[in-house]
Chain A
Amino acid sequence: MNVYSGNGAVPSTFSSGATSNNFGVGLVGTSKDNLIEKNKIGGNLNGVLIASSTQGGNIIRRNLIAGNPPVQVSNEFGASVGADIQDRSTPGANTFEDNRCLTYMGSVEPAPCPSISKLDDDEDRQEREIAAFGRSRLALPQARLINAVFHPSGGLLPKAAASARPAQTAASDSATVTGKVVDAACFMLHASAASAASHKDCGAACLARGVPLAIATDDGVLYFPADGNQRLKSMLNARVRASGTVVEKHDPMELKMPVGDKNQMVVRVEGGYKQITIESLARIPAEKR
């Protein structure tokens, strides 16, 4: 990303109603097939200037182009002195995509400006969110999960978690599990947030994108249904009692969690986990909790 700010001056010969040819980013001469992407362009006489002599094939996309020209300049010399995008090229010769801009001078229909939407498509923001999410959520909880809850050896389970184990935990034994249906990926990163009622809408969105559900016991042990989300999906955030066969799985498992519209975070669970083949499942009414 380049930053363009305050470039250009009105020439001494400028007459009212004329247009300046100074710019933040200029495609002049026979320029063609250039990519102008992810720049911040503000306070110039024109933000992006495309001269009539250009040869086309230029792509101008995902730029923030605003405040061109500065308002005092347009007040003094007239609104025609410049624009966020001044396009003197043949309509259709160049491509404008997902720019955020306010003013356009040119012949393209519909005009690429004003456009102030597309915030959710901001890849930079999504990348920052993913990085921040990874830093703040992933490191410590992941260590807790791998070492304490999901370790295959019962002897290494913390005392509280051990007390929450069902009556029989031997491989392929029947058991009854009581807990809350949660979005498993979120639960492993931040258990209290995933269990909160306020997370229900978020969890539903994750569920719609295939995030696995699980039954979380009061002491934080997760039981993943052997048949996927089919039986639990109507019970997100509900408290349930499930009976069936519980087995300890020892293979690593990857849970995928959507972040934004286009990205996803993968949480890898190592050291094994519990899987339950549900034979009976019942929602526990609120008054009996």
Chain B
Amino acid sequence: MSQILCRRLILSVFTVFAFCARVQATEISGTISTTLTIYDDSELVGDVKCMVAGNPCIDFGASGIKLRLNGFTITENITGCTSATSSQDGIDVGDVVSLHDVAIFGPGLVQKFGGFGIGIFGSSKVRVEGVTASDNCFSGIILVGSMDSDIERNVFVRNSSGSEGAPCGGT
């Protein structure tokens, strides 16, 4: 697992410089083919289909912001869980720099990602509420080196189907 995480971090840093566009928009829907980094309060206004190879679909780029799923679904629809898909998370917080006071509010579904449904890395005071994470290859939500976070009233179903020995699961 630690090897996987290390690889993830390296790839993510590369992603920031090479692919990510700064996005101010607050409304998200449709197909995402390169990592969408949000810097302001954002919300889904329709279902999202993710086709981001080797990187997270949506990434938090600033502290003090919220993402509202508004009942919509974020889907990657991965067809096979392999180590190559392990960096393809649904939503990441703090995988590049540590963040604080960010929130992800449901209802909403994050499903079928090759990595984690939601990854929270080295951050603090992260709130995830009312989200369903389902059928992701690794954990539904994972907290790594994070503190003072609140994971409340979420549903985690059928995650970690492809963890192959890594300690993964719901949260």
Interface residues, chain A, CB within 8 Å of chain B? 1-9, 11-13, 21-26, 28-29, 41, 44-46, 49, 51
A49 lies within 8 A of B154 (CB): no
Chain B 129-171 against A: per-residue CB contact (8 Å), 1 yes, 0 no? 0000000000110001100000111111111111111111111
Complex contacts, A28 vs chain B, CB 8 Å: 1, 167
Whose C-beta in chain B lies nearest to the C-beta of A21?
Answer: B167
CB A69 to nearest CB in B, in angstroms, measures 12
CB B161 to nearest CB in A, in angstroms, measures 5
A7 lies within 8 A of B158 (CB): yes
CB B73 to nearest CB in A, in angstroms, measures 18
Q: Which among B156, B158, B169 has the highest number of chain A CB atoms within 10 Å? A: B169
Given contacts A9-B162, A23-B170, A24-B169, contact A1 B144 (CB under 8 A): no
Partner of A44, one of B145, B155, B170: B170
Q: What are 14 A-B contacts defined by CB distance under 8 Å?
A: A3-B155, A3-B156, A7-B139, A7-B159, A7-B170, A9-B161, A9-B163, A11-B165, A21-B165, A22-B160, A22-B168, A23-B167, A26-B169, A46-B169
A13 lies within 8 A of B165 (CB): yes
B165 lies within 8 A of A7 (CB): no
Task: Count residues of B near A (Cβ-Cβ below 8 Å).
Answer: 26
Q: Which among A21, A22, A44 has the highest number of chain B CB atoms within 10 Å? A: A22
B157 lies within 8 A of A2 (CB): no
A152 to B85 CA separation, bound complex (whole angstroms):
76
Beyond the given pairs A3-B154, A7-B159, A8-B159, 11 more chain A to chain B contacts, judged by CB atoms under 8 angstroms and listed by A's residue number, are: A2-B152, A2-B155, A2-B156, A4-B156, A4-B157, A4-B170, A21-B166, A23-B160, A23-B167, A26-B139, A26-B168
Chain B 69-101 against A: per-residue CB contact (8 Å), 1 yes, 0 no? 000000000000000000000000000000000
Q: Which among A4, A25, A29 has the highest number of chain B CB atoms within 10 Å? A: A4
Complex contacts, A51 vs chain B, CB 8 Å: 167
A184 to B145 CA separation, bound complex (whole angstroms):
56
Complex contacts, B164 vs chain A, CB 8 Å: 11-13
Q: Which among B154, B156, B161 has the highest number of chain A CB atoms within 10 Å? A: B156
Question: 6 tightest A-B contacts by CB?
Answer: A23-B169, A4-B170, A21-B167, A7-B169, A7-B170, A24-B170
Given contacts A2-B155, A2-B156, A4-B156, contact A25 B171 (CB under 8 A): yes
A29 lies within 8 A of B160 (CB): no
A1 to B168 CA separation, bound complex (whole angstroms):
20
A51 to B2 CA separation, bound complex (whole angstroms):
14
CB B142 to nearest CB in A, in angstroms, measures 9
Complex contacts, B157 vs chain A, CB 8 Å: 3-7
